[in-house]
Structure 1
Amino acid sequence: MSFGEWTKEISEFIWGAPMILVLLGGGLILGGSIRFYYIIHIKYIFKSTIGTLFKRTKHDHTKGEVTPFGAFSSALAGTVGANNLIGVPLAIHYGGPGALFWMWIVALVGMATILVEIILGQRYREQTPQKEFVGGPAFYMSRGLKWRFGALFFAIGLIVQLGLSTMVQAKTIADRVGNSFQISSTVAGAAMVIIVAILVFGGIKRIAGVMKFLIPIIVFGYVVLTVFVIGSHYTSLLSTFQLIISEAFQPTAAVGSFAGASIWVTARWGLARGLYSSEAGMGTAPIAHAAAANHSPLKQANWGIIAVVIDTLLICSLTGLAVVITNTWTEVEEAEQMLINAFQTLMSSQVSEYLLTVLLIVFVLPTVTMLIYYAEKQADFLFKHHHPIIVRSLYLTLLFIGVFCSASMLWNMMDIVLAFVVIPNMYALIKLRKEATAEIKQFIYDKKRM
């Protein structure tokens, strides 16, 4: 058995029953503990986040480096990447349309996970000698649980996973640019390294400053495009939803180029893509939000709910619906080509191909920037006096190497390592969930007094 086949088998096993139990079971425990606050108080969540965008608000920067929206934009940039454009069609290719249903489920359940993560990330964050705020699972494991081994295990595991993720993003871009513009992988990799280096060497303030303007434009443009694609097939919208729901609970039969899938395979791919898009339980969201200048951990956590809504329930859903409603999932095997064919319902094949390439570039580059930032924060935990330039240089090197690797092997290895990151984090969240519950109870008490 080759190394690639070995990683594939392990990945398929882990992302079957084991991760279903961890993600959905753990998410439901957390949701019940916080009394599904994010559903009951959804109106307040939108009002305290999106509703504040056009209000002038002073932020105490002794409590954080960037604004709450800046931290939100940075966190969102870390999730809006290749997974949204390529990962979702890939899940449909292997698991069928029903994978979208499981992606939605893990996103809804995962909102509780995100909420608890960010609250704990804010409560246990620290300030470095350079006046930078750092936080995340490694910090609430070591300070909240006094679980030093778990914190070290998580930090090292996340550093490895982020390295693999960086390589996946690089490979996706290099292949796409090469196909569209006949540019060599070497040139594409070098260009990515230069652009990302300009951002990461500016620190979180520069990253947040760029992302808070760039991300809304990217999201709005992509939403408009996919809505037009779906709208051009609006008569099939109801039957598309019926297909997605029915295929989530029964084996998907082979059709066209689709080879068929069992219920477990369908759930596995939907759960994996849902986790990658929302990052619920992965522990990266609280790292970005730890830098926010916000007096209330709960109010900052509300931005995490909005991120899941935008990234998974909006962007990923629109990608999946565009692929399913146009039937391109039955026509071709390549994930990229599915989306290109969907775009062709509105434009020529050449324009569709160029458009996907541009979209991937503007989606992936911000993601890679944040992946490197997350890795740097893990180094802050592991090595109190490390030099950021070492981490940044290492990941920029991995970014370049990734363009020459096997995409399928990188995806499988990333899935395997991610499981060993999620499990200790979910354990810590469940053990510390009463602290998040206390934040929410205080909010409800204050609200009743108003």
Structure 2
Amino acid sequence: MISLLLGTGLFFTIRLGFIQLTGLKEGFRQTFGPLFSKKKQDGISSFQALSTAIAAQVGTGNLAGVATAIAAGGPGAIFWMWISSFLGMATIFAEAVLAQKYRVKENGTVKGGPAYYIRDGLGSKKMAAFFAVAIIAALGFVGNMVQSNSIAEAFNTAFQIPPLVIGIVVAFLISLILFGGINRIAKFAGNVVPVMALLYIVGAFIILILQYDQVLPALSLIVESAFTPESAGGGVLGASIKEAIRYGVARGLFSNEAGMGSTPHAHAVAEVKHPAQQGFVAMVGVLIDTVIICTATALVILVTDGANSNLTGIELTQASFSSGLGSFGVYFIAFSLLFFSFTTILGWAYFGETNVNYLFGEKGVPYYRAAVLLFIIGGTVLNVPFVWQLADTFNAFMVLPNVIALIALSSVVKKTYNEFTN
């Protein structure tokens, strides 16, 4: 699956003429330019759609996933995470363009995503239904169990609050926003995500400023370890090149979700004049998620010497921030994880809801929302290794039909891109 996603990113990188480089300036203009415009915009703005997408992208993977990549693949894994995000920017551009091209308006509500461009672009209703079932299970149900479990674990460690209590509280808060539909989710994401991301980045940068003399050596270590890991010394820092590539690429792709078919649901509902505009905006999401937030986490771990510990996952991230910020670091990561996972639950729940609507219409949505809340509560008290494996399996089921559609419809993406640029 990693090879499939990387290959798709390389394919679109070449076909679109290295759009990650040529289109990044346009991406920033499309994303942040309207924020300074006094013109009132109807519907959901590009920025709100991007915030909803980032809400889903930025989650446990940015905190625990990065730590796992370093623990298993060494510092060089971060270099390959950057490579995966670079290629993923081209893939996510294609996803956003197709989501805009094939979106529909039903009962006054705009909807879109892979199920729609698979059905209407490829003409395959069966493959579209297969994708819809896979994403409902992978993100709406199983994935959200993992997110709520992460919240419960972090708060139980920091404040000794029983996991079930945390699950009930999180489910209640999610219900207040989820039952308001995409407009309320987009508004919430547009207000919370920028603040959430900024606070985390500021916290990381405080540590990096205090350890400023270690930042350049850490960056050098990342690059060196990507190709000659034996020079990094023994222990985890001496991980093989194979492991560095494997874990770096895997964590990068599953952090920014490029090619998985999840974020197109958010990009489909943005009100833009041309589909390519939202494609440029989507690329900025990958940049923020992986290049900025994941790198901030990685550097904190490396400058505090966390990579030489025996810890992994969220425990490694917590220990690294505690080393840099004192005991406050434990609470800082607990609350960061709360907001990151909370917004991911919202984003994933909405992505699943779009596909429930696709399969069953509006009548199936209330039952789906109720089921999501039950899975959130259940996730806080269950053992999650099996749940993670189940989520990975359904993720694979999502990727395959989505990638087939992306490649098959690449001429549509290319034509749309040319229309905008010429």
TM-score by length of 1: 0.89
Distance 1:56 1:118 in 2: 26
Partner residue in 1 for 2:18: 36
Distance 1:73 1:368 in 2: 14
Q: 1:256 to 1:395 in 2, by over 3 A?
A: farther
Partner residue in 1 for 2:61: 83
| Structure with greater helix percent | 2
Partner residue in 2 for 1:262: 240
Shift of 1:52: 2.7
Distance 1:353 1:101 in 2: 27
- Residue of 208, 216, 224 corresponding to 1:246: 224
Partner residue in 1 for 2:77: 99
Distance 2:136 2:332 in 1: 32
Distance 1:321 1:418 in 2: 28
Partner residue in 2 for 1:432: 409
* Matched letter for residue 38 of structure 1: Q
Following superposition of structure 1 onto structure 2, how do residues 392-403 of structure 1 map, counting pairs within 5 Å? Answer: 392-403=369-380
Distance 1:256 1:360 in 2: 31
Range with greater deviation from structure 2 (45-54 or 24-33): 45-54
Q: 1:229 to 1:424 in 2, by over 3 A?
A: same
Partner residue in 2 for 1:293: 271
* Matched letter for residue 201 of structure 1: F
Distance 1:415 1:25 in 2: 19
Partner residue in 2 for 1:414: 391
Distance 1:83 1:435 in 2: 32
Shift of 1:256: 7.7
Residues 68-112 of structure 1: CA deviation (Å, up to 9, x unaligned) = 211111111111111111111122112211111111111100111
Following superposition of structure 1 onto structure 2, how do residues 152-171 of structure 1 map, counting pairs within 5 Å? Answer: 152-162=129-139, 163-171=141-149
Asked if 1:310 corresponds to 2:254, the answer is: no
Following superposition of structure 1 onto structure 2, how do residues 18-417 of structure 1 map, counting pairs within 5 Å? Answer: 19-59=1-41, 61=42, 65-129=43-107, 131-162=108-139, 163-250=141-228, 258=236, 261-349=239-327, 351-417=328-394
Contact 1:379/1:386 (8 A) holds in 2: no
Q: 1:233 to 1:125 in 2, by over 3 A?
A: same
Residues 115-136 of structure 1: CA deviation (Å, up to 9, x unaligned) = 000000011011122x111111
Distance 2:231 2:157 in 1: 32
Total equivalences in the alignment: 421
* Matched letter for residue 53 of structure 1: L
Contact 1:255/1:330 (8 A) holds in 2: no
Distance 1:32 1:386 in 2: 43
* Matched letter for residue 32 of structure 1: I
* Matched letter for residue 334 of structure 1: T
Residues 250-305 of structure 1: CA deviation (Å, up to 9, x unaligned) = 55699787396433332222122112221100111110111111121111122101
Partner residue in 2 for 1:8: none
Shift of 1:149: 2.2
* Matched letter for residue 127 of structure 1: K
Partner residue in 2 for 1:5: none
Distance 2:73 2:342 in 1: 28
Distance 1:306 1:42 in 2: 7
Distance 2:227 2:397 in 1: 28
RMSD (Å), alpha carbons: 1.9
Distance 1:243 1:294 in 2: 42
Q: Identity of counterpart residues, as a percentage?
A: 35
TM-score by length of 2: 0.95
Distance 2:175 2:219 in 1: 42
Distance 2:185 2:196 in 1: 15
Distance 2:292 2:73 in 1: 20
Range with greater deviation from structure 2 (415-424 or 337-346): 337-346
Contact 2:229/2:237 (8 A) holds in 1: no
Unaligned runs of 5+ residues in structure 1 are 1-18, 446-450
Partner residue in 2 for 1:6: none
Residues 169-188 of structure 1: CA deviation (Å, up to 9, x unaligned) = 11111111111111111101
Distance 2:391 2:221 in 1: 30
Distance 1:325 1:346 in 2: 9
Distance 1:365 1:195 in 2: 9
Unaligned runs of 5+ residues in structure 2 are none
* Matched letter for residue 211 of structure 2: H
Distance 1:128 1:215 in 2: 28
Distance 2:230 2:275 in 1: 43
Distance 2:356 2:242 in 1: 37
Partner residue in 2 for 1:14: none
Distance 2:205 2:134 in 1: 38
Shift of 1:434: 0.9
Range with greater deviation from structure 2 (411-420 or 21-30): 411-420
